[in-house]
Structure 1
Amino acid sequence: WKFTARTFIAVGLVTIFSRLTEQWVGFAHLDPVYATVVGSGLCGTGLLMLFRHRTGLGGVNILAIYLQEKHGIRAGYFQLGVDLAILAGAFFVLAPDRLLLSVVGAAIVNLTLAINHKPGRYLGMS
């Protein structure tokens, strides 16, 4: 129940902050490559913090945490596989440059998790 409560709180906070961010931050110009690299790095770091404190953001995150804890399948690699499968479908609807940036972003997010969230490393407990 603790995992579920933390996950609901995390999803709620992401929802609130996503809504409020446009009021707090504005960009006259944002280079797509810079946004991909920095944004994906921040997302990967944020997910790493959540995972280490036994919290997810729903869906694939929960399954990835479960598979890592119960079956030793690394969460970052699992999520990367799911993301790449989704992006394979996007091949038909996204412009090639946007698809490439999406693949790079997925790789940065999930490799951040795969490299840093390993069994036996720090797990915050509450």
Structure 2
Amino acid sequence: MKLTHQWLSILEGCMLVALGLHLLNSVGLLISGTAGIGMILLKLTSLTFGQLFFVLNLPFYILAWRALGKEFAFRTFAAVSILSLLSEVFRHYIHIDIHPIASAILGGMLVGFGLIILFRHNASLGGLNILAVYLERRFNIHASRTTLIADLGVLSAAVLVLDSWSLLYSLLAFLLLSSVVGRYHRPPKWAQNNETKHA
């Protein structure tokens, strides 16, 4: 029962993130981390977001396996695969007409809450999320701080592909994501136990 609950939660987290990313993608806005990098590359290549997101995360599984354990690495691989699949499904079957401001608000919050669910169940969406979880587990640095720094890096790179309004709306999504994670995310028991071991 516990295992079923965990995987259902991971699926729910991925669905929230996928919907948030779909809202942002529908008006050409960005979000943080590897997903944001994928969105930037989406404008420069013929690959879909789901394909880019899956490929970009492949190198990070080694870090996850070595630094955070095989269970975390497996759950992260599963979450990335699920999100990539959901992104393809949403792209084909869900068509949204939405104002960029509404997209930024809803998209940023949905991605934030989805990440919280994944963090609580010893999973992430790869890339910079792995770094955020590692820093939180090892050095007690809250995940929202790491994601905010990553946001600023992605936003800086986005200057090359977005106009000023899209950058502004994307920044709003970034801030809402970071705010949600910062206010509602609490290090789960697996992180607290690890902190005790390193104390």
- Distance (Å, rounded) in 2 between the aligned partners of 1:39 and 1:124: 28
The answer to which structure has the higher helix fraction is 2
Q: Which of 80, 83, 95 is matched with 2:163 structurally?
A: 95
Alignment of 1:32-47 (within 5 A): 32-47=100-115
1:124 Cα deviation after fit: 7.6
- Identity of aligned pairs, percent? 33
- Distance (Å, rounded) in 1 between the aligned partners of 2:150 and 2:122: 20
- Distance (Å, rounded) in 2 between the aligned partners of 1:124 and 1:69: 8
What's the TM-score, normalizing by structure 2? 0.57
Listed one character per residue, the Cα deviations across residues 47-84 of structure 1 (whole Å, up to 9, x for unaligned) are 01000111011110000001011101111111111111
Listed one character per residue, the Cα deviations across residues 2-33 of structure 1 (whole Å, up to 9, x for unaligned) are 11111111011001100001233122x21111
Which runs of 5 or more structure 1 residues have no equivalent in the other structure?
none
Asked if the contact 1:37/1:108 (under 8 Å) is kept, the reply is yes
Listed one character per residue, the Cα deviations across residues 64-123 of structure 1 (whole Å, up to 9, x for unaligned) are 00101110111111111111122123234421110011111111112211111133xx54
- Distance (Å, rounded) in 2 between the aligned partners of 1:74 and 1:4: 20
Q: 2:145: which partner in 1?
A: 77
Asked if the contact 1:37/1:105 (under 8 Å) is kept, the reply is yes
- What is the count of residue pairs matched by the alignment? 122
Which runs of 5 or more structure 2 residues have no equivalent in the other structure?
1-69, 192-199
What's the TM-score, normalizing by structure 1? 0.88
The alignment's C-alpha RMSD in Å is 1.8
- 1:8 maps to 2:77: yes
- Distance (Å, rounded) in 1 between the aligned partners of 2:74 and 2:160: 38
Deviates more, 1:105-114 or 1:90-99: 90-99
